[in-house]
Amino acid sequence: MHLLEVDNLTKRFGGLTAVNNVSFHVDEGEIVGIIGPNGAGKTTLFNLISGFIKPDSGIVKFKGEDITGLSPHKIVNKGIARTFQVVRPFRHLPVIANVMVALKSPRGTKNIEWLKTMERKAADILEDVGLSEVMLEPAENVSHGDLKRLEIAKALATEPDLLLLDEPFGGLNPLEVNYLTKSIIRMHLDEPTRGILIVEHKLHALMKIVKRVIVLHQGEKIAEGTPEEIAKNQKVIEVYMGKAI
């Protein structure tokens, strides 16, 4: 049984088919990347999995259970957490309280060990992603790179079995990309059974982390394989570079 199974997922927006018959799976402890040019339907695919958009057809199965069309908060409490491409912090709250919102969800509360306060747990999570210095700052005063990490901290607070990262490297400088790459690898080593699904444009950073890559183009899956296979795949090169004249 796969951790996440996506079967023939289709979503149309009017005449545009954003996601067309996409099927793939993620196993326990696997890091999978999704790449594709702009408008390939990567974020729509994420929204479909996490329940923010209802699919027109197709099934999403999580741990063998059909979760298609469930509301987003229910899916989070089943164990799929996501981050957003554009950071969505709670601006009026300090960074630590941002994480505490996620800890206040049923799954987040359940996973707090006995005799441990919510504040302590939130501080521990922030320490893991390297935000302990700005912990008490209001989120609106924090830099973009830190907000990206805060997104991940919020997702981690519910202790997901599957983590969906939507362009975690977007808008980061090379140094921050490097740091985040390391922390994603560390996250993976800390919790080896957790599956991670990453949508990313920065292929160089992505290829270092993932074991398997799925390529989307105009809503369709055009290739799947290890990073080396994908780099050599003629179709993928055509999509990214254009055809040879």
Partner 1 sequence: MAISYLRRAYSSFAAHVFDIPPRLMAVLFFLILLLLPTCGLSSYYMWILIYANIIAIFALSWDLLVGRTGLISLGHALFFGIGGYSTALLFRHYGLPLWITIPVAVLLGALAGMIIGFPCLRVKGPYLALVTMAFPLIVSNIIKWSPLNPVFKGEIGIRASPFFPFLPIRQQRIAEYYLTLLLLFISAVIIYKIANSKTGIVFISILDDEVAAKACGINVTKYKIMSFIISSMFASLAGSIQAHFLKNANPSMFSLTLSFVPIIVTFLGGIGSIYGAIVGTYIYYILDKYVLIYLLPVLLRNFNLALPRGFEHAKLIIFTSIVLIFIIRWPRGIARYVTDKLQDLEEARDLDERGPRIWKRYKKKEKS
One-letter amino acid of 5: E
For residue 177, what are its two tokens? 């990309």
Q: Tell me how far, at minimum, the Cβ of 117 lies from partner 1, in Å.
A: 9
* 71 sits near partner 1 (criterion: CB under 8 A): yes
* 88 sits near partner 1 (criterion: CB under 8 A): yes
DSSP string, 28-88: TT-EEEEE-STTSSHHHHHHHHHTSS--SEEEEEETTEE-TT--HHHHHHHTEEE--SS--
The helix (H) or strand (E) run that includes residue 6 is strand 4-13
* 93 sits near partner 1 (criterion: CB under 8 A): yes
Tell me whether residue 90 or residue 179 sits nearer to partner 1 (CB atom). 90
Quick check: 179 and 129 in contact, CB under 8 A?
Answer: no
Choose the stretch contacting partner 1; rule: CB under 8 A; options: 23-31, 135-143, 176-184, 195-203. 135-143
Binding mask 214-243 for partner 1 (x = CB under 8 A): ------------------------------
* 194 sits near partner 1 (criterion: CB under 8 A): no
Q: Tell me how far, at minimum, the Cβ of 123 lies from partner 1, in Å.
A: 7
Distance of alpha carbon 245 from alpha carbon 243, whole angstroms:
6
* 105 sits near partner 1 (criterion: CB under 8 A): yes
Q: Tell me how far, at minimum, the Cβ of 155 lies from partner 1, in Å.
A: 8
Task: Return the residues of window 48-67 that contact partner 1 according to CB under 8 A.
Answer: 50, 52
* 97 sits near partner 1 (criterion: CB under 8 A): yes
3-state secondary structure 188-239: HHHCCCCEEEEECCCHHHHHHHCCEEEEEECCEEEEEECHHHHHHCHHHHHH
Distance of alpha carbon 180 from alpha carbon 130, whole angstroms:
10
Distance of alpha carbon 176 from alpha carbon 186, whole angstroms:
15
* 171 sits near partner 1 (criterion: CB under 8 A): no
* 76 sits near partner 1 (criterion: CB under 8 A): yes
Site residues (CB under 8 A) for partner 1? 50, 52, 71-73, 76-77, 81-84, 88-94, 96-98, 100-102, 104-108, 118-119, 123, 135-138, 154-155, 157-158
